[in-house]
Amino acid sequence: MHDIVSDAISPQLEQLRAEVDVSLDRYTEFSDDCPEKLRLAMRYSLLAPGKRLRPCLVLLASEACGQHHAPALPAACAVEMVHAYSLIHDDLPAMDDDDIRRGQPTCHKQFDEATAILAGDALLALAFQVIAQDLPSPITAVRCLHELALTAGACSLVGGQMADLTAEFSNLDAEDLAAIHRRKTGAMFRVSLRLGGIIAEAPAEHIDALDTYGEKLGLAFQITDDLLDVDGDEAAVGKRVGKDADQGKLTYPGLLGVAESRKRAATLVGEACDVIGNLGESATPLNHLARFVLARNQ
């Protein structure tokens, strides 16, 4: 099934990814006053080889609502900029203290800590600039800015990170873990889908369906991410395992075991696909993308 799904989604995803990358490159050329080291650090992290899953979700959500994806491209780039900022800051010594991201040294390792902090800050600001300046309608732009600000802020991404740091080495259950991921990974998936729907001027019930799809897919993504980290270690249950173990972070395989985690991710993906059923055939690529997330190996 993996190959069939990958074959079905890959050429379309590859094309969308390439379009996103061209735009990300243009948005960070900066012919004006940006200091060269800052420009290089922003581009180093933003253009590094990532899956571009969130921008693809923006574009596919717009298409699922019957619109061409092109008008949603600035919002797709904005979401990737917020994602890149969150990765740079998450990798810092004061946070997760990671050395490698996307197969290359993390931003603070390649440059220095101060530059990495500033590159993240500048990417976050650029995300809002791009939406404000390049979405076709000012009303749509304001709606998208509001949604993205809510997602990036104290009650979502930043708050989720705070809760995550506070929870280290404490006793969590599956609900607590889901609540943390809902504010981080889940929120980014949801806003990606919502922005696509808003730009396509979709009715509220379609945006709600996309939102629920995003919530379920985000959690499934996080579970598969934890599974990739333990690499099939069936004995993972009850232990703090994988790259996050040193920081005392609990993961799904640690909490539920590998088999149950796999089952839960598959159930969530099935539910995600069901909920967008009312969008009809135009939502088929989102179904394929969800299966791709389940079967992914990176």
Spatial neighbors of 186 by CB under 8 A, at least 6 apart, are 214, 215, 218, 219, 222
Angle 227-230-234 from CA coordinates, rounded to 5°: 90
Question: Bridge partners of 101?
Answer: 104
H or E element: which one contains 4?
helix 2-27
Q: Which residue is nearest to ligand GRG (CB)?
A: 50
Separation of alpha carbons 189 and 236, rounded Å: 27
The token pair that represents 222 in the structure block? 């996080």
107 touches ligand GRG (CB under 6 A): no
185 touches ligand GRG (CB under 6 A): yes
Footprint of ligand GRG on 46-85 (CB under 6 A): 50-51, 53
Least separation, in Å, of the C-beta of 198 and ligand GRG?
21
Q: Of 180 and 198, which has the nearer Cβ to ligand GRG?
A: 180
Least separation, in Å, of the C-beta of 266 and ligand GRG?
18
Indicate the burial class of 239 (C-beta count within 10 angstroms; 0-12, 13-18, 19 or more).
Answer: middle
In sign, the C-alpha dihedral spanning 179, 180, 184, 185 is negative
H or E element: which one contains 100?
strand 100-101
Q: Of 90 and 215, which has the nearer Cβ to ligand GRG?
A: 90
> Using CB under 6 A, which of 61, 157, 283, 289 touches ligand GRG?
157
> Using CB under 6 A, which of 17, 184, 194, 262 touches ligand GRG?
184
102 touches ligand GRG (CB under 6 A): yes
Least separation, in Å, of the C-beta of 210 and ligand GRG?
18
DSSP 101: E
Least separation, in Å, of the C-beta of 173 and ligand GRG?
19
Stretch that binds ligand GRG, among 21-29, 33-41, 155-163, 280-288 (CB under 6 A): 155-163
161 touches ligand GRG (CB under 6 A): yes
106 touches ligand GRG (CB under 6 A): no
Least separation, in Å, of the C-beta of 259 and ligand GRG?
21
> Using CB under 6 A, which of 43, 89, 194, 291 touches ligand GRG?
89
Cβ-based neighbour number of residue 15 at 10 Å: 13
Separation of alpha carbons 292 and 7, rounded Å: 10
In sign, the C-alpha dihedral spanning 199, 204, 208, 209 is negative
Angle 219-222-225 from CA coordinates, rounded to 5°: 155
Stretch that binds ligand GRG, among 32-40, 130-138, 184-192, 205-213 (CB under 6 A): 184-192
Least separation, in Å, of the C-beta of 136 and ligand GRG?
26
Separation of alpha carbons 268 and 219, rounded Å: 8
The site that binds ligand GRG (CB under 6 A) totals a number of residues, namely 17
CB 210 within 8 A of CB 204: no
> Using CB under 6 A, which of 40, 150, 158, 163 touches ligand GRG?
158
> Using CB under 6 A, which of 121, 208, 225, 260 touches ligand GRG?
225
Residues that bind ligand GRG (CB under 6 A): 50-51, 53, 86-87, 89-90, 95, 102, 157-158, 160-161, 184-185, 188, 225
